[in-house]
């Protein structure tokens, strides 16, 4: 900084954008330290150029600093000093005005300065204009790349092929076929793959090759992922696990690159197993409509890779899905997925085996596994594991260190109907209606020959919304159901409403779930099971997503659909009439059983059947 003279020419200006912090600090030091040491910490007031000229002419200004397009000046009024800031103007007479003006300073003149911008060296310009922005851009790119890499499962802009699969070494997989119960047929189909990985020469001598792929198909919770890990654990080979959804990426080509990288890694670590869970995410059928280009390219790459690798290397592809009907036909042909392994819901013996496997992990007394297995018909392996865990939690809440059969029975009811709501208060009239309703179900079931025995009746409300329920447990496993079996089930479902009508002389909303189940069962008898005399064996309905709830769609005309409704209504009316007749004929059983249920809230099937037999066979 140097003092200006009246006839001194101003040095050429140059905008300085790269050191704002240092320049600002220098200005503050110069103003506060050199020119106005008494103003440190005081506020700077913004004003206009005209006010600046007036204050200069009034003789109150002590100092002026010109910094670029800004002018800082200090006014002294008595003992008070104030610093102002204004913008500079194209005023060629400013220097003369400052020289001629009076000032409160000792010499009577205004001290004024102009900062002189300094030229940076070429090296500094290069660093500030090229190197520093480059480093900043690189840091931003690295951070963005890492973020996208995490979202894409390992890929980035420069390395999009990272598959993102979880890789398990052969020593880290402890799961074996002993941990998989209730799926004996699936284990038998996969044991050959394990044997091939162990002894490839035995198959090579005869010219056999390893199946390239096996598709695991079944409802959720049946152990598809578990059995895939068990294959790797038995074979003692690396295990690549990835979900089909991880191949679907934002950018076209990313999914195909992941597929290529996955098979390359697998080829380098062969023999090994690749497991693709939920393969329907990328393996859906291709059609002529405009679809997802990324998903279709990923599927094409998967088909190409499955054709391209040599099965003799020992790379096995296992895939799992709940929707096999949605997969592309090219994916299912021999040479890609050579085997289709069904993972169905376990039967009675399978449920016993699964329960025994999970009971090994908890402390328990001698439990009736057969009873629990019969009470859990239609449950998957995951649901059975949850039941055992709920029983263990119930034992802990009760202050016991061992699980009992009662814990398992209660956990079955908790999973099916929800936990007990003992705090819910019903009026006496409501409790009476619920009691007769549930007794009606039980009585109709007990008086029919083709019906499961009553196991338990309760009027304790549950968190699912049920105010009570009747549990029936089959003595064995039924593979086939006759028309009489299904009709009696509908009659049992209508027994609750029939009891309300015949005994309580009213109808309530408590039968809503019964109505839904009875209607679905009657419709299936007409449309899918060929149990209607009018339509004989004509299929009128198709099932979609059989493993995911089984949504149905009619395959008939509108006139036929209306006639189907009439057939369904007739079936339900016949069953309802049968239930009403049974309850009216045996009203004495209803009254005694309902009164006993009102008193106890929960009665067993044996207690209920004792009341029934006392009235049906009074001499025994």
Count of domains observed in the chain? 4
DSSP type of residue 419: S
Cα-trace Rg, the chain: 42
Residue 553, pLDDT > 50, answer: yes
Query: Number of C-alpha atoms within 13 angstroms, CB side, residue 79?
Result: 0
Domain-embedded: residue 145: no
Measure the CA–CA gap between 420 and 530, rounded to whole angstroms: 40
Query: pLDDT class for 161, splitting at 50, 70, 90?
Result: very low
Average pLDDT over residues 325-340: 87
Residue 108 has pLDDT above 90, yes or no: no
User: Which alpha helices (DSSP H) does 163-292 contain, by range?
Assistant: 184-198, 200-204, 224-235, 254-268
Backbone torsion region of residue 241, taken as left when φ is above 0, otherwise alpha when ψ lies between -120 and 50, otherwise beta:
beta
Note whether residue 197 is domain-resident: yes
- Cα separation, 394 vs 404, whole angstroms: 10
pLDDT band at 512 (very low <50, low <70, confident <90, very high): very high
In a domain, 183, yes or no: yes
CA dihedral sign, ordered 187, 193, 199, 203: positive
Same domain (yes/no): 526, 451: yes
Q: Does pLDDT of 462 surpass 80?
A: yes
Q: Within this chain, do residues 369 and 320 fall inside the same structural domain, yes or no?
A: no
The domain boundary residue, chosen from 342, 362, 388: 342
Positions marked active-site = 438
Q: CA 576, CA 496: separation in Å to the nearest integer?
A: 10
Q: Is the pLDDT of residue 103 over 80?
A: no
Average pLDDT estimate for 563-573: 95
442 contacts 608 by C-beta, under 8 angstroms: yes
Tell which of 391, 417, 443 closes a domain: 417
Query: 379 with 338, same domain?
Result: no
pLDDT at 199: 82
pLDDT over 80 at 32, yes or no: no
What is the reported pLDDT for 167? 78
CATH of the domain at 172: 3.40.50.300
Residue 63 is predicted with a pLDDT of 83
Least confidently predicted of 1-10, 130-139, 449-458, 593-602: 1-10
Strands 61-67 and 339-342, by their bridges, are unpaired
Same domain, 602 and 585: yes
Q: What is the pLDDT of residue 118?
A: 60
Determine whether 82 is exposed, middle or buried from the number of CB atoms within 10 Å of its CB (0-12, 13-18, 19+): middle
- DSSP-derived letter for residue 58 is T
Residue 97 pLDDT > 80: no
With bands split at pLDDT 50, 70 and 90, how would you rate the model's confidence at 485? very high
The pLDDT of residue 297: 83
Domain containing residue 582: CATH number: 1.20.58.760
Alpha-carbon distance 213 to 339, whole Å?
7
| 3-state secondary structure at position 123 | helix
Does residue 470 share a domain with residue 452? yes
Tell whether 405 and 434 lie within a shared domain: no
pLDDT confidence of residue 339: 87
Q: 472 lies in a domain?
A: yes
Report the distance separating Cα 457 and Cα 447, nearest Å. Answer: 16
The mean per-residue pLDDT over the stretch 300-315 comes to 77
The half-sphere exposure of 113 on its side-chain side, counting CA atoms within 13 A, is 18
Q: Is the peptide bond before 271 cis (omega within 30 degrees of 0)?
A: yes
Digit-coded pLDDT (tens) for 351-406: 999 999 999 989 988 899 998 998 888 888 999 999 999 999 999 999 999 999 99
Q: Are 255 and 298 in contact (CB under 8 A)?
A: yes
pLDDT at 310: 61
* Residue scoring higher pLDDT (4 or 287): 287
Same domain, 440 and 560: yes
Could you tell me if 255 and 314 lie in one domain?
A: yes
Residue 160 has pLDDT above 50, yes or no: no
Q: Where are the alpha helices (DSSP H) in 45-161?
A: 49-57, 94-100, 122-126, 132-151
User: pLDDT-derived band of residue 3, with 50, 70 and 90 as boundaries?
Assistant: very low
Interacting residues of 444 by C-beta distance below 8 A, sequence separation 6+: 451, 491, 492, 494, 495, 498, 578, 579, 582, 583
Residue whose token pair is 């790379």: 315
Q: How far apart are CA 443 and CA 399, in angstroms?
A: 37
Residues spanned by the domain of 572: 428-616
User: Is 278 or 93 the better-scoring residue by pLDDT?
Assistant: 278
The pLDDT > 70 percentage for the chain reads: 84
Q: At CA 262, angle to CA 247 and CA 310, rounded to 5? A: 125
What pLDDT is stored for residue 457 in this prediction?
Answer: 92
- Average pLDDT of span 138-167: 60
Q: Give just the sign of the alpha carbon dihedral 563, 567, 570, 576.
A: negative
Instruction: Specify the pLDDT at position 491.
Output: 96
Q: Please, which pLDDT band fits residue 115 given cuts at 50, 70 and 90? A: low
pLDDT at 15: 41
Is the pLDDT score of 503 beyond 90?
yes
Nearest Cα residue to 259 out of 223, 285, 297: 297
Which helix (H) or strand (E) element contains residue 215? strand 213-217
Examine the pLDDT at 550 and tell me if it is beyond 60. yes
Tell me the per-residue pLDDT of 287-303, one tens digit each, with 9 for 90 and over. Answer: 765 455 777 888 888 88
Tell which residue, 419, 404, 420, has the closest CA to residue 372.
404
> Per the domain annotation, does 300 fall within a domain?
yes
pLDDT on residue 598: 92
Whether residue 436 sits in one domain with residue 402? no
Q: Are 178 and 187 in contact (CB under 8 A)?
A: no
Helix (H, G, I), strand (E, B) or coil at 216: strand
Position 90 in a domain: yes
**Given a cut of 50, is residue 581 above it in pLDDT?**
yes
pLDDT computed for residue 10 by the predictor: 39
Strands (DSSP E) along 514-612, which ranges? Answer: 541-544, 551-554, 602-604
**What does the mean pLDDT of the chain come to?**
81
Residue ranges of alpha helices (H) inside 269-423 are 293-308, 329-332, 348-359, 369-375, 381-397, 405-417
**Are 591 and 443 contained in the same domain?**
yes
Rounded mean pLDDT of 249-264? 79
- Give the Cα separation of 145 and 161 in Å (integer): 14
pLDDT classification of 477: cutoffs 50, 70, 90: confident
Q: What is the C-alpha separation between 606 and 563, in angstroms, rounded? A: 43
Same domain, 99 and 191: no
Instruction: Note the pLDDT tens digit of each residue in 168-194.
Output: 776 678 888 988 888 888 898 888 888
């Amino acid at each position: 900084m140097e003092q200006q003279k009246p006839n001194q020419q101003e040095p050429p200006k140059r905008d300085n954008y790269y050191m704002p912090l240092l320049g600002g600090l220098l200005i503050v030091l110069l103003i506060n330290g050199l020119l106005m040491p008494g103003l440190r910490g005081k506020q700077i007031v913004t004003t206009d150029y005209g006010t600046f000229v007036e204050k200069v002419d009034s003789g109150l200004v002590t100092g002026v600093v010109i910094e670029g397009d800004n002018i800082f000046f200090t006014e002294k009024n008595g003992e008070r000093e104030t610093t102002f800031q204004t913008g500079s103007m194209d005023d060629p007479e400013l220097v003369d005005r400052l020289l001629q003006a009076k000032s409160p300073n000792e010499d009577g003149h205004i001290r004024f300065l102009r900062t002189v911008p300094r030229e940076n060296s070429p090296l500094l310009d290069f660093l500030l204009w090229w190197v520093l922005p480059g480093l900043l851009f690189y840091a931003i790119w690295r951070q963005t790349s890492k973020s996208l890499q995490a979202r894409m499962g390992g890929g980035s802009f420069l390395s999009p092929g990272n598959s993102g699969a979880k890789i398990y070494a052969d020593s880290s997989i402890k799961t074996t076929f002993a941990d998989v119960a209730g799926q004996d047929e699936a284990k038998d189909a996969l044991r050959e793959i394990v044997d091939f990985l162990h002894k490839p020469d035995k198959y090579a001598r005869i010219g056999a090759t390893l199946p390239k792929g096996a598709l695991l198909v079944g409802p959720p919770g049946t152990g598809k992922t578990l059995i895939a890990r068990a294959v790797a654990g038995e074979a003692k080979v690396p295990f690549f696990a990835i979900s089909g959804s991880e191949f679907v990426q934002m950018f076209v080509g990313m999914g195909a690159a992941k597929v290529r990288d996955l098979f390359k890694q697998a080829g380098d670590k062969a023999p090994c197993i690749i497991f693709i869970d939920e393969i329907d995410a990328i393996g859906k059928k291709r059609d002529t409509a405009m679809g997802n280009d990324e998903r279709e390219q990923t599927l094409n790459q998967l088909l190409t890779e499955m054709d391209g690798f040599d099965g003799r290397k020992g790379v096995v592809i296992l895939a799992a899905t709940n929707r096999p009907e949605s997969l592309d036909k090219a994916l299912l042909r021999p040479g890609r997925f050579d085997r289709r392994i069904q993972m169905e819901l376990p039967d009675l013996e399978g449920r016993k085996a699964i329960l025994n496997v999970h009971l090994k992990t908890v402390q328990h007394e001698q439990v009736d596994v057969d009873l629990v297995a019969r009470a859990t018909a239609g449950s998957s392996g995951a649901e059975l594991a949850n039941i055992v865990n709920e029983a263990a939690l119930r034992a802990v809440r009760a202050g016991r260190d061992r699980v009992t059969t009662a814990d398992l029975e209660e956990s079955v009811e908790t999973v099916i109907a929800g936990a007990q709501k003992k705090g819910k208060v019903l009026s006496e009239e409501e409790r009476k209606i619920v009691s007769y309703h549930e007794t009606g179900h039980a009585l109709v079931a007990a008086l029919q020959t083709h019906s499961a025995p009553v196991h338990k009746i309760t009027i304790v409300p549950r968190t699912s919304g049920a105010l009570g329920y009747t549990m029936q447990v089959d003595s064995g496993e039924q593979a086939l159901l006759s028309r009489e079996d299904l009709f009696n089930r509908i009659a049992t479902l209508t027994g609750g409403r029939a009891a309300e009508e015949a005994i309580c002389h009213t109808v309530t909303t408590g039968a809503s779930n019964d109505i839904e189940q009875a209607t679905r069962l009657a419709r299936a008898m007409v449309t899918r099971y060929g149990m209607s005399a009018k339509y004989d064996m004509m299929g009128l309905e198709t099932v979609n997503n059989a493993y995911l709830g089984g949504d149905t769609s009619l395959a008939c005309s509108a006139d036929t659909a209306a006639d189907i409704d009439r057939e369904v209504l007739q079936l339900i009316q016949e069953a309802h009439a049968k239930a009403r007749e049974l309850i009216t004929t045996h009203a004495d059983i209803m009254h005694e059983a309902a009164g006993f249920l009102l008193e106890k809230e929960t009665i067993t099937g044996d207690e209920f059947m004792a009341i029934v037999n006392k009235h049906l066979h009074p001499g025994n």
